[in-house]
Amino acid sequence: MAVFGLRVTVLIALLVCGTVPADDAMAPPSKLSALLGSQADPEFARALQPRKFSFPEDHGPHPEFRNEWWYVTGNLDDDDGRRFGFELTVFRFSLAPTAPDSESAWRSNQVYLAHLAVTDADGEDFYVAQRFSRGALGLAGADSSPFRVWIGDWEFSAQQGSDAWQLRADDSAVGIEFELAPLKQPVLNGIDGLSQKSAAPGNASYYYSITRLQTTGTLRIGEQTFEVSGLSWLDREWSTSALAADQVGWDWFALQLDDGSELMFYGLRSADGDRDANSAGTFTGPSGAATHLHAKDVEVDVLEHWESPAGGIYPAKWLLRVPSLELALTVVPVLNDQELFTTVRYWEGAVDVRGTRHQLPIRGRGYVELTGYARESAPGDSQ
Amino acid sequence: MLPATYRASLFYLLRHPWQLLLAILGISVGVAVIVAVDIANSSARKAFLLSMDTLTGQATHQVIGGPRGVSEDVYRQLRVDQGIEAVAPIVETTASIGEARFTVLGIDVFAERTFREFSTEARTADTEDKDPGALITRLLTTPGGVLLSQSTAEELGLAAGEYFDVIVDGQFHEAKLLATFGNDDGAGRLLLTDIATAQEWSGSYGVLTRIDVRISDDAGVTLADVEDALPAGTRLLSAAGRTRSTLEMSTAFMTNLAAMSLLALLVGLFLIFNSVNFSVLQRRNLIGVLRALGLTRRQLLLIILAEAGFLGLVAAALGVVLGLVLGEQLVGLVARTIDDLYFRLRVTSIDINTLTLLKGMLAGVGAAMIAAALPAWEATTYEPRLAMARSTLEHKANRMLPVLSFAGVGLMTGAVGLIACTNTSLVAGLVAVFLAILGFALCVPLFVRFAARIAAPAAAAAGGTTARMAIAGIASGLSRTGIAIVALTIAVSATIGVSIMVDSFRGSVSTWLQQSLQADIYVGTQKSVMAPELVSTISALDGVIDGSTRRLTSVESEDRRTQLRVFELPTASYAGFELLDNSPEQVWPAWEKTDAVLVTEPYAYRFDVRAGDRIPLPTDHGVQQFLVAATFQSYDVDADSVVMHRTTYLRHYDDDSIDGLGLYLADGVSADEVVAKIESLGANWPGLYAASNAQLRSESLQVFDRTFVITDILYWLTLGVAFIGILSAMLALQLERARESATLRALGMTPAQVGGVITVQTGAVGVLSGVAAVPLGIVMAWILIKVINRRAFGWQIDMSINPGILLTTVAFAVAAALLAGLYPAYRAGRVQPAVAMREE
Amino acid sequence: MSTNLIAIQARDLSRRFREGSHEHVVLDGVNLDVRRGETVALRGRSGSGKSTLLNLVGGIDAPNAGTVAVAGIDLTNLGERERTLFRRQHIGFVYQAFNLVPTLNVADNVRLVLELNNVRATEIEPRVGELLDAVGLGNRADSFPDVLSGGEQQRVAIARALSHEPTVLLADEPTGNLDEATAETVLELLDRLVRASGHTMLIATHSQQVAGYCDRVLDLHNGQLRQGST
């Protein structure tokens, strides 16, 4: 999801510095707007116009842009029908447009961080882990050929010549080791992959997704290991700047429907609570044909709310309607509490989908990301 | 209300303010020295531990490698291949900003979160724009970007955003202060920077100083996980163990200081003894009456002990206060010595803990009680008669003399036995010193009686009846004078002992320097390696015909840190090594060609090895066995070290750096001129120093002398206590003999003549103390040299007795006694003859 | 005589002192009986053993042979501690040199013995006042001994000696340091107080003046006790 990229700056700011000073934490909008106001070095490349994508090369890094991420979410079941959700994301961030010249292998302008989240729907548990590293010395990095993105021993990788990806991430409480086989070609979001996020030229990202990846592998929770399978979703995005000053958060939906289609939509929220005109989405048909959706094409009604124990009220049930597609979907989190207390606090969770398409019942699963609803970080939480 | 009996003693004490004051002062100074040394030691220790705390943070273990460090590949393997999270890379080096030296701690902020607290501390830092995210970006992207503690930045007059020069390994680098952090404890001399900057400054590309490891239940990593992943040549050591072994280097030094402070208290103890004893003697009549009135022995004992306890309490309280003041002065000296000799140390705060104060109070009260025990017991033996004649008393004291002396001989025998039965225990050695002193002290009164008996006729011949009276008075007043003499004897003998020790030590060091400094000029940089081009430039200077190279480093295993001295030397300078247990023909070829090393005498002593033994040393290729070719004499500050030939070193360690050069000049070339030439290179190579053989020798001796400044100060304090002892004893004696003085005045003596008797007496006390102190002092010197120094540092020192030292100290004893006698003499002269007529 | 009427009873009392190789016999088989309420003067030259006898009766010293009993208590068999407690309770001392505690004031000197006898604090104060009034020093209670005249000091000593109602008052040349007139005053006081309270008193003296105040005079000569002539 495009807007997420800007958040990386916040992450960088916070991950080393611990807690956000209390007064700042009380006012996330000003925090975001401050970041948006901070001018990126003009030497960074910008997403100004559509570009030609080529794969697998574009799976690799684009260090001339300030932010980039590899973002995989998925819904899985084990053989006994036990339900799981997962998120594995690697963010890349350039601190400066060019790599500094030094004999020290540590001198680098690249910083990587990663989040791993696992939802155990039946166990009603939610696990989060994170990693940080500079992109130097082989500690973390991204290569396009063969494809590999890694931070410590967490990695996305692919064999040369194969379009299947291996995902591996392990922490003390949870671990995953999956193989992902794309069932569809990459879909270019926005206008031919150029995703405008706010009015100013260059406030845009290059954004593609692989909306359906067959996923198999093992998932570990504590000492227990589960053989799981299901569907994953890949979001790839890189940019230098995107959001405008009055954009305070976003709601992102990535829904996989059982008729073989997928719906992605992000709603940008303004400070005044309205939906931003730059909100957009993509509908991908079973054959892989993509339809760009404008803000006005999608209606979102919040049906229920959930109050985080740490404060903040999140929407917790939605009705999404895309009249032009005759699509109406009720989206329900599999667990209310899928909130990540990483350096930036946000909600990212597996959801169930029920609804109608052309008046016929339809079901599905997906992932939703919600930001800007709570203070960036709970008081005293230095994670 | 206090019972009448206790009120009686309180009033007694108040009625003899001089005696009271001196007794209190004596014990106070003793307590003060103990407290001061304790404060100095614990402040130094605490400062060290704090700085280690800052440097090690939450690390429980550290991966270390050879002299050059750990390859950074090892770190990547741990993190990426093994997926071990709880590790953090560290590049540490030393930098100078102006005169101040800093530890540069190069960190990777991303690995730091679980290790050190700077990250959260930096939150409150006054960064340029108050944006912590920007600070980290700058730390990562600004070569030379550093963080300093708030107070250090203020001290250096630096504000965030300012640029300044740092010198690392003799090279200037530009640094920029990015921010300051508030955490000052232990971080006073810390330059925090990105690991890349630290590598760029130190030139240690590709290597880390160490890898911090945090093994804990929640880290999900076991010791074995890490150990299994480590290649040969690296070791996983416990952080606490490393801190301990570093601290241990200074332990002997601190123990010795503490022992010296005890000596001051011991002398103070004699003072209290003297004072209580005198107060008992003076009240013997009263005690007899009280006993007759029905005061039991136990009650009497309690009263006298309570008196002493009260004295001790007041004295200890005063001493503690005095100690706090003195401690502050001493901290600087101790810290400087440790910084000179052992490890980087900067004491920013004086550590005053309640334990120290408690120790001081206990020592004061305890010493007073112990000192009072004997007189108190003696008081209970006084018969409840109406009065006791002094002659009986002196008679009794005289009868006690052989018993005391016998006990003294027993203690001294004990001291000899203790030395003989223990081999390396420093504490046992120190106990032996105290036993010897006590034992000797017990024999002193007997000696005084003999001496006075022999000297009296001679005195009569020289100075007439007055002189005879004065001298005889010493022996007849032995129950009082004896103690004063003992106290002075101890103080003087301690001075003699330590002076002889220091003098002998200095002599040995001087001789050793003469022998071991073979080159004409020595060149080095401030505790860092020399750039290869600098080495070649200097070696190519006119007049230089030969050279030696030196590399000082250390290798660590789990249980010890071994100092390695690596040399490549012209064969002619092999003569600089005084080999102790093997012949040169056997040693040198082996040393050059095989895995053979030389060990210093302290090393051999400490680890009990000798020529022919093998010692294990961690190398870059794992632990290897090295043959000890010989033990050699060394008084180097890095006392226990191993000397390796450069060729051998290069075989085992991936480190070709050089940190010192010895230059041999052609005949007729002036060393000073070459030194000047080298110094002129200093513009490009800051921190470069060169010293001629003679300069280096005198500089070394200066460091040596500075080390013993503390020792000197402590002994002056001890002598001060002894001086107070003499003054108090003579004053007491004068009070006691007021009637005798009055009678003399009545018989027609002038005040000057009466004062003269006292003066002659105190002079004689000084002479007797001085004379008695000589043998004790020599014995003490012997123990200090052959037992204490050997056990503490492993040094063998040739003992040489400089008669000048003996003469000066004896003269000092006499002068001190005379000086202390002045006031009592004046008082004695002023006694009114009428006093003699009044009945007691 | 029944024992409860006997204050002091000595039988075959001997005391010898060793001085180098020579043994000096001070008391050689002394027998002495003093009734309760009797005042007895002990006369003899210096060194005749008067003080030694007083020390034996006072439990300060122990005899080499013979027995001595005071108030029916045989001192010969008492240990050091018992003797101290015995002294504290049964004996009052008056010395030639007064031997007041110089660092205590007059009242405290008297109070001292009462405290040693564990007299209750509430009883001590009136008793001290009473005693000082009795010796005519009620107004000097706060004075220290060194500002008192010899006679005054001895009067304090008498008050102290009588404070705890001892069975026996032992006085060793009580007027030896006083001029004749003062001695007379002190003796009168002593006599009055002792007789008024019915105390037993043994005075060692070589003064005829002192002997004159006593019921009985004994002479100590060559270690033997003889009835003296008054």
Is B748 within a domain? yes
- Which of the residue ranges A185-189, B142-146, B316-320 has the most confident prediction, judged by mean pLDDT? A185-189
* Gap between the terminal Cα atoms of chain C: 24
Q: Which of B147, B161, B80, B75 is nearest to B116 (CA)?
A: B147
pLDDT band at A35 (very low <50, low <70, confident <90, very high): very low
Range scoring the smallest mean pLDDT among B113-127, B587-601, B805-819, C168-182: B113-127
User: pLDDT at residue B127 above 70?
Assistant: no
Considering the domain architecture, whether residues B47 and B86 belong to the same structural domain is answered as no
- pLDDT at position A374: 75
- pLDDT at position B637: 58
User: pLDDT at residue B834 above 50?
Assistant: yes
Question: In this complex, do A106 and B199 lie within 8 Å of one another by their Cβ atoms?
Answer: yes
Q: Distance of CA A353 to CAs A140, A263, A280, A367, Å?
A: 36, 11, 20, 10
- pLDDT at position A33: 33
Beta bridge mates, A203: A241
- pLDDT at position B19: 66
- pLDDT at position C202: 92
| Section A239-253 average pLDDT | 79
- pLDDT at position A22: 30
Range scoring the smallest mean pLDDT among A308-322, B123-137, C175-189, C201-215: B123-137
Location of structure tokens 């392990």 = A170
Query: In 3-state terms, what secondary structure has residue B366?
Result: helix
Q: Distance of CA B609 to CAs A93, B605, B626, B630, C206, Å?
A: 58, 7, 12, 10, 87
Residues of B in contact with C55 (CB under 8 A): 385
pLDDT digits (tens, 9 = 90+) for B638-672: 567 899 999 999 999 988 888 888 888 888 888 88
Enumerate residues 107 to 136 of chain C having a beta carbon within 8 A of any beta carbon in chain B: 108-109, 111-113, 115-117
- pLDDT at position B463: 65
Considering the domain architecture, whether residues B288 and B162 belong to the same structural domain is answered as no
CA distance B274 to B277: 5
Question: In this complex, do A111 and B123 lie within 8 Å of one another by their Cβ atoms?
Answer: no
Identity of the amino acid at C166: P
User: pLDDT at residue A378 above 70?
Assistant: no
- pLDDT at position B693: 84
| Section B282-286 average pLDDT | 72
Q: Which of B446, B455, B325, B303 is nearest to B379 (CA)?
A: B303
Question: In this complex, do B383 and C80 lie within 8 Å of one another by their Cβ atoms?
Answer: no
Considering the domain architecture, whether residues B634 and B537 belong to the same structural domain is answered as yes
- pLDDT at position B582: 87
* DSSP letter assigned to residue A20: P
- Provide φ and ψ at A296, rounded to 5°: -75, -15
Mean per-residue pLDDT over chain A, rounded:
83
Structural domains of chain A sorted by starting position, each given as residue range(s) with its CATH number in brackets: 4-370 (2.40.370.10)
Number of structural domains (chain B) is 4
Is B95 within a domain? yes
Is B412 within a domain? no
| Section B424-439 average pLDDT | 81
> Any contact of C with A, at least 3 CB pairs below 8 A?
no
3-class secondary structure per residue, B47-68:
HHHHHHHHHHCCCCEEEECECC
- pLDDT at position A323: 94
User: pLDDT at residue A379 above 50?
Assistant: no
Considering the domain architecture, whether residues B744 and B600 belong to the same structural domain is answered as no
Q: Distance of CA A199 to CAs A28, A208, A245, B502, B584, Å?
A: 21, 20, 11, 84, 87
Q: Which two tokens stand for residue C134?
A: 């009795």
Query: In 3-state terms, what secondary structure has residue A62?
Result: coil
Residue B586 in contact with residue B629, Cβ under 8 Å?
Answer: yes
Radius of gyration of chain A (CA): 19
Considering the domain architecture, whether residues B33 and B142 belong to the same structural domain is answered as no
Considering the domain architecture, whether residues B751 and B830 belong to the same structural domain is answered as yes
> Any contact of B with A, at least 3 CB pairs below 8 A?
yes
pLDDT digits (tens, 9 = 90+) for B58-107: 778 888 887 778 899 999 998 888 888 888 899 988 888 887 778 888 98
Residues of B in contact with A139 (CB under 8 A): 75-76, 79-80
Residues of B in contact with A96 (CB under 8 A): 141
pLDDT band at A37 (very low <50, low <70, confident <90, very high): very low
* DSSP letter assigned to residue A169: E
| B672 CB-near residues (< 8 Å, 6+ apart) | B692
Task: Count Cβ atoms below 10 Å from residue A258 Cβ, excluding itself.
Answer: 12
Is B405 within a domain? no
pLDDT band at A174 (very low <50, low <70, confident <90, very high): very high
User: pLDDT at residue A324 above 80?
Assistant: yes
- pLDDT at position B283: 74
- pLDDT at position B476: 67
Is B693 within a domain? no
CA distance B8 to A272: 90
| B454 CB-near residues (< 8 Å, 6+ apart) | none
CA distance A66 to B31: 67
Task: Count Cβ atoms below 10 Å from residue B764 Cβ, excluding itself.
Answer: 26
Greater model confidence, A30 or C97: C97
Residue C183 in contact with residue C14, Cβ under 8 Å?
Answer: no
Q: Which two tokens stand for residue B106?
A: 């190069």
Task: Count Cβ atoms below 10 Å from residue C199 Cβ, excluding itself.
Answer: 22
Q: Nearest residue of A to residue B113 by CA position?
A: A16
| Section B743-753 average pLDDT | 71
Considering the domain architecture, whether residues B669 and B706 belong to the same structural domain is answered as no
Is B390 within a domain? no
pLDDT digits (tens, 9 = 90+) for B689-735: 788 888 878 877 777 776 667 667 666 766 776 677 667 766 766 66
Mean per-residue pLDDT over chain B, rounded:
79
* DSSP letter assigned to residue B727: H
Range of the domain at B43: 1-54+244-384
User: pLDDT at residue B507 above 60?
Assistant: yes
Q: Distance of CA B194 to CAs A122, B109, B145, B408, B677, Å?
A: 45, 7, 7, 65, 37
Question: In this complex, do A103 and B80 lie within 8 Å of one another by their Cβ atoms?
Answer: no
* DSSP assignment string, B708-723: THHHHHHHHHHHHHHH
Q: Nearest residue of C to residue B386 by CA position?
A: C95
- Which of the residue ranges A20-24, B28-32, B203-207 has the most confident prediction, judged by mean pLDDT? B203-207
Question: In this complex, do C116 and B294 lie within 8 Å of one another by their Cβ atoms?
Answer: yes
Point out the residue among C103, C113, C177 whose CB comes nearest to the CB of B15.
C103
* DSSP letter assigned to residue B666: P
| Section B753-759 average pLDDT | 79
- pLDDT at position A264: 95
Considering the domain architecture, whether residues B759 and B826 belong to the same structural domain is answered as yes
Residue B661 in contact with residue B529, Cβ under 8 Å?
Answer: no
Enumerate residues 12 to 51 of chain C having a beta carbon within 8 A of any beta carbon in chain B: 51
| Section B515-533 average pLDDT | 79
- pLDDT at position A96: 83
CA distance B189 to B166: 13
pLDDT band at B480 (very low <50, low <70, confident <90, very high): low
Query: In 3-state terms, what secondary structure has residue C157?
Result: helix
CA distance B43 to B37: 10
| A88 CB-near residues (< 8 Å, 6+ apart) | A72, A114, A115, A116, A154, A156, A167, A169, A176
- pLDDT at position B199: 93
C84 lies within 8 A of chain B by CB: yes
| B631 CB-near residues (< 8 Å, 6+ apart) | B579, B580, B581, B582, B598, B599, B600, B601, B603, B604, B609, B610, B611
Range scoring the smallest mean pLDDT among A25-29, B90-94, B529-533: A25-29
Residue where a domain terminates, one of B655, B686, B717: B686
CA distance B180 to B89: 22
User: pLDDT at residue B225 above 90?
Assistant: no
CA distance A19 to C200: 95
Q: Write the Ramachandran bin of A319: left for phi over 0, alpha for psi from -120 to 50, otherwise beta.
A: beta
The distance of B213 to chain A (nearest Cα, Å) reads: 16
pLDDT band at B561 (very low <50, low <70, confident <90, very high): confident
pLDDT digits (tens, 9 = 90+) for C210-219: 888 888 999 9
Is residue B706 packed enough to be buried (19+ CB in 10 Å), middle (13-18) or exposed (0-12)? middle
Percent of chain A whose pLDDT exceeds 70: 86
Is B275 within a domain? yes
Considering the domain architecture, whether residues B493 and B556 belong to the same structural domain is answered as no
- pLDDT at position C46: 78
Residue B780 in contact with residue B493, Cβ under 8 Å?
Answer: yes
User: pLDDT at residue A36 above 50?
Assistant: no
Q: Distance of CA B137 to CAs A28, A131, B218, Å?
A: 21, 18, 30
Beta bridge mates, B92: B105
Q: Distance of CA C125 to CAs B539, C103, C121, C167, Å?
A: 99, 19, 7, 22
Is B418 within a domain? no
Burial letters C143-179, b for 16+ CB under 10 A, else e: ebbeebebbbbbbbbbbbbbbbebbbbbbbbbbbbbe
CA distance B248 to B640: 12
The distance of B650 to chain A (nearest Cα, Å) reads: 24
- Which of the residue ranges B134-143, B462-471, B768-777 has the most confident prediction, judged by mean pLDDT? B768-777
CA distance B812 to C131: 59
| Section B549-560 average pLDDT | 81
Residue where a domain terminates, one of B686, B710, B744: B686
Residue C44 in contact with residue C220, Cβ under 8 Å?
Answer: yes
pLDDT digits (tens, 9 = 90+) for A114-170: 999 999 999 899 999 888 889 999 999 999 888 999 999 999 999 888 889 999 999
| Section A349-375 average pLDDT | 91
- pLDDT at position B394: 53
Residue where a domain terminates, one of B686, B711, B736: B686
| C230 CB-near residues (< 8 Å, 6+ apart) | C211, C212, C217
pLDDT digits (tens, 9 = 90+) for B353-393: 788 888 888 888 888 887 788 778 877 877 776 544 444 55
- pLDDT at position A253: 95
Residue A71 in contact with residue A236, Cβ under 8 Å?
Answer: yes
Q: Nearest residue of B to residue A10 by CA position?
A: B133
Range scoring the smallest mean pLDDT among A176-185, B392-401, C129-138: B392-401
Question: In this complex, do A15 and B110 lie within 8 Å of one another by their Cβ atoms?
Answer: yes
| B498 CB-near residues (< 8 Å, 6+ apart) | B711, B715, B780, B781, B784
- pLDDT at position B131: 55
Point out the residue among B108, B137, B206 whose CB comes nearest to the CB of A12.
B137
| B55 CB-near residues (< 8 Å, 6+ apart) | B92, B103, B105, B186, B190
The number of C-alpha atoms within 13 Å of B601 and in the hemisphere containing its C-beta is 21
Greater model confidence, B112 or A320: A320
Q: Which two tokens stand for residue B252?
A: 């002997």
Greater model confidence, A39 or A329: A329
User: Best mutation site among B13, B279, B386, B391 for testing chain C: the one with the most C CBs within 10 Å?
Assistant: B386
Q: Distance of CA B14 to CAs A122, A216, B310, B311, B373, Å?
A: 87, 95, 12, 11, 21
- pLDDT at position A256: 96
User: pLDDT at residue A9 above 50?
Assistant: no
pTM comes to 0.66
Range scoring the smallest mean pLDDT among B8-17, B382-391, B402-411: B382-391
Considering the domain architecture, whether residues B609 and B731 belong to the same structural domain is answered as no
Q: Distance of CA C154 to CAs A53, B242, B687, C157, C163, Å?
A: 125, 78, 87, 5, 14
Q: What's the fold here for domain C38-62+83-227?
A: Rossmann fold (3.40.50)
pLDDT band at A24 (very low <50, low <70, confident <90, very high): very low
pLDDT digits (tens, 9 = 90+) for A50-95: 999 998 899 999 988 988 999 999 999 999 999 999 999 999 988 8
- pLDDT at position B113: 67
